[in-house]
Structure formats: structure tokens, C-alpha cells
Amino acid sequence: MGLFTISCKKATYLVSKKEEGKLNWIESIQLRSHMAICSLCRLFEQQSKFISKQAKHLHGEASLSEDQKKKIEQALHQVQ
């Protein structure tokens, strides 16, 4: 494989890395080149973005009341 030709396995890895904002310029070019020709990896990227968005949305809504936090702390102290 050439410098800008990557496998689907590497492309899916780079999609995940891209979501974390950690792609360097070579990886970015490799991913864009691969996405231009691979419809399955484009679909994977769409699904990955959707899952991340939903997980962030759910995480933002999740919170414990002060009473729940105290109960958890008490349970942890009993275990120790």
C-alpha cells in the first residue's frame, strides 16, 4: 500500500482518532483519500458520529442527587 492508500481497518481507527481531535496532517489526508472511495467507511463514520453524539447527550443529562451520592459514599465506606 502507498503512503495515502490505507485499509478499512486503519480508516476506522483514524475515524475514532479524528473524533478525539488527534489526527496529524498525514493521517488526515490518508483518511480523506480513503473516504473518497469507500462507502462502507463513510457509513461507519456517520454511525460513529451518531453514537458519540448520543453518548454525550446522555452523559450530560446523567446526574445524582445529593442523597444518592451520600448513599454511595456510605456504601463505599462500609466496604472498606
CA–CA dist 36, 50 (Å, integer)? 20
Convert the pLDDT of each residue in 37-78 to its tens digit. Answer: 999 999 999 999 999 888 877 766 667 788 988 888 888 888
Convert the pLDDT of each residue in 9-42 to its tens digit. Answer: 999 999 999 998 999 999 999 999 999 999 999 9
CA–CA dist 22, 17 (Å, integer)? 6
CA 50 to chain centre: 10
pLDDT of residue 4: 74
pLDDT of residue 6: 95
- Interior angle at CA 6, CA 28 and CA 46, nearest 5: 60
pLDDT of residue 14: 97
